[in-house]
Amino acid sequence: MNTKTTVIEQAELEKQYAFCDKISAYWQGENRVPTAYVETYGCQQNEADSEKLRGYLSQSGYTIVAEAEGADVVVMNTCAIREHAEQRVFGNLGALTHTKRRHPEQKIFLCGCMAGEAGVSERIRKSYPHVDGVFSTHHLWQFPEILWNVLSEGKRQFYIADEAGSIAEGIPQIRDSSLKAWVSIMYGCNNFCTYCIVPYVRGRERSRKKEDILQECRSLIASGVKEITLLGQNVNSYGKDLEENVDFSDLLAEIAAIPGDFLIRFMTSHPRDAGKKLFDTMASSPKIAKQLHLPFQSGSSRVLKAMNRHYDREHYLSLVEYAKRVMPDLVLTSDVIVGFPGETAEEFEETLTLIAAVRFDALFTFIFSPRVGTPAAQMDDPTPKEEKNRRFDRLCALQNSISEEIHKAYIGKTLRCLIDGSDEEYLTARTEGGRLVRLKGDSSRIGTFANVTITASNTWSLTGTLAETEA
Ligand code: SAH
Ligand code: SF4
Ligand code: F3S
């Protein structure tokens, strides 16, 4: 495997734009406007990648549509994090045989994290002959070339070389929202938590240059974007691989200094690398949302060690204590895994006591899923599935009651929210901490900040009314 990060030269990207032009010309020759559908699985990183796939497709003359049926191109941008995610993809991929039968010229691609997994491309080669191309995240920047090869040669394309990863600036993007934007600040991961497939499928940690990120943020803000979410598997190690002397807190402070009325969020933080400087930087700027997603994974120091997380229970608790001290209104969310191989009943209780002590606003809860090629998949796992399910249910019940109580305490408070959309009869908004609020109001308010008085709550969300005061 090539272990060096490559920066894709502008000249290489120009070649990809030239492929976009060839594809456009091909469809002009066919005398019709082709359509494309991109389906995204997994995390925000994949959402951000799908915006680039749509950008390339649009530059190649395609109209983006909302379903696979009848589309000239279907791209499945996949997630490999848990087995369940993969089963869904294989199920949906199988179902595409029918759409392709009805529209035989349809070209089907599979990309994203599963495409970089050992064995997946072989399985597709053998058992999914209707798939025209497979490319891993390392090859996303070459999508126009891959698509052109399929169209012009009619042969299946596999771009799955295992690489450390690259950085390509300037891929066109069709963003899902004109109000909120994802900005990847780094790619890949070096942590190799023993349960996790991400470092194998997304390559080594590599940071974008600070100036490229600032430039992107400036232009987003100038175009009216009100919320920017910085993305990375471990944003706290931003900059470690760069020549310039910059860390994540420095980057945050510089983005916050861009003039304009906007909020910055970020994810994900790793408790090993997050610390006082980050929390002080957050506390010092009104433009940095007081929201922190800080996965703890387990409340047991023994399990954390087996997970290769490089912090223990006490360290995690001390981080949270400091963060809440400097940001009293902090909204704290986390990820937790139940049933890691060898987790004992007592160790699971430690997870519950940590949750009770921290009182997270919300938790993303997962049952351990063995991933082929990761160390944890080889570990002894004597706990029966039924027991893991019981633990999971207890954990969820505890967290639900905490979330419900925290949400109840919002009632009567007036909070500055960004009104970001509507669902049926309500406008939807997010508090600075990222909690969902539903409220009655005119859709002309979408895209503005407003003060909202909270009138009711449940485990998952808040209900409110527009306050008289200007936000
Ligand atoms: N980079 C982020 C998270 C990426 S994956 C971080 O380090 O926090 C999102 C979450 O999925 C992880 O935090 C973890 O809780 C969960 N996860 C990852 N691999 C898993 C596996 N094999 N089984 C169950 N949950 C897993
Ligand atoms: Fe996976 Fe750990 Fe990297 Fe997060 S930090 S992506 S959990 S290896
Ligand atoms: Fe899934 Fe890849 Fe994200 S495995 S969670 S889509 S980094």
> What pLDDT sits at residue 3?
52
> What pLDDT sits at residue 5?
66
Which pTM value belongs to this model? 0.96
> What pLDDT sits at residue 468?
81
Q: Which atom of ligand 3 is nearest to the CA of 80?
A: 4
Q: Using omega within 30 degrees of 0 as the cis cutoff, is the peptide bond preceding 428 cis?
A: no
> Nearest Cα to 430, choosing from 226, 274, 256, 254?
226
Q: Ligand 1: which residue has its CA nearest to atom 4? A: 233
Closest ligand (CA of 80): 3
**Tokens (6 digits) for 393:** 């249910």
CB 189 within 8 A of CB 198: yes
What is the tens place of the pLDDT at every residue in 17-50?
A: 999 999 999 999 999 999 999 999 999 999 999 9
Ligand 2: does its nearest atom lie under 6 Å from the Cβ of 192? yes
Q: 236 phi and psi, to 5 degrees?
A: -70, -15
Q: Which 3 state secondary structure label does DSSP give 138?
A: helix
Ligand 3: does its nearest atom lie under 6 Å from the Cβ of 120? no
Our measurement of the distance from residue 353's CA atom to the centroid of its chain's CA atoms, rounded to an integer in Å, reads 28
For residues 17 and 426, give the distance between their C-alpha atoms in angstroms, rounded to a whole number.
42
What is the tens place of the pLDDT at every residue in 313-350?
A: 999 999 999 999 999 999 999 999 999 999 999 999 99
Ligand 2: does its nearest atom lie under 6 Å from the Cβ of 297? no
Ligand 2: does its nearest atom lie under 6 Å from the Cβ of 233? yes
User: What is the bridge-based pairing of β-strands 414-423 and 426-431?
Assistant: antiparallel
For residues 188 and 199, give the distance between their C-alpha atoms in angstroms, rounded to a whole number.
6
Closest ligand (CA of 337): 1
Q: 275 phi and psi, to 5 degrees?
A: -165, -165
Ligand 3: does its nearest atom lie under 6 Å from the Cβ of 48? no
Our measurement of the distance from residue 340's CA atom to the centroid of its chain's CA atoms, rounded to an integer in Å, reads 23
Q: Which atom of ligand 2 is nearest to the CA of 234?
A: 5
CB 73 within 8 A of CB 106: yes
**Tokens (6 digits) for 278:** 């980050």
Q: Which atom of ligand 1 is nearest to the CA of 370?
A: 22
Segments of the chain scoring below 70 in pLDDT: 1-5
DSSP-derived secondary structure for 148-214: HHHHHH---EEE---BS-EE--------S-SSEEEEE-EE------TT--HHHHH-S-EEPPHHHHH
**Tokens (6 digits) for 465:** 């009314």
For residues 412 and 45, give the distance between their C-alpha atoms in angstroms, rounded to a whole number.
36
Give the angle 405-410-411 at the CA atoms, nearest 5°.
Answer: 100
What one-character DSSP code corresponds to residue 375?
G
Find the 43 Cα to ligand 3 centroid distance in Å. 5
Rg (CA), the chain: 23
To the nearest 10°, report the CA torsion of 373, 379, 380, 384: -60
CB 31 within 8 A of CB 66: no
Q: Which atom of ligand 3 is nearest to the CA of 81?
A: 4
CB 417 within 8 A of CB 431: yes
Our measurement of the distance from residue 60's CA atom to the centroid of its chain's CA atoms, rounded to an integer in Å, reads 26
For residues 85 and 93, give the distance between their C-alpha atoms in angstroms, rounded to a whole number.
12
Q: Ligand 3: which residue has its CA nearest to atom 3? A: 43
> What pLDDT sits at residue 4?
61
Q: Ligand 2: which residue has its CA nearest to atom 1? A: 196
Find the 275 Cα to ligand 2 centroid distance in Å. 18
Find the 28 Cα to ligand 3 centroid distance in Å. 36
Q: Ligand 3: which residue has its CA nearest to atom 1? A: 79
Q: Which residue has the tokens 């495997």?
A: 1
Q: Which atom of ligand 1 is nearest to the CA of 267?
A: 2
Q: Which residue has the tokens 């908004």?
A: 429
> What pLDDT sits at residue 246?
96
Give the angle 112-235-224 at the CA atoms, nearest 5°.
Answer: 80
> Nearest Cα to 427, choosing from 396, 400, 459, 452?
452
**Tokens (6 digits) for 165:** 């990863």
Residues in the chain: 471
Q: Ligand 1: which residue has its CA nearest to atom 14? A: 335
**Amino acid found at 279:** F
User: What is the bridge-based pairing of β-strands 462-466 and 426-431?
Assistant: unpaired
To the nearest 10°, report the CA torsion of 33, 108, 198, 194: 160
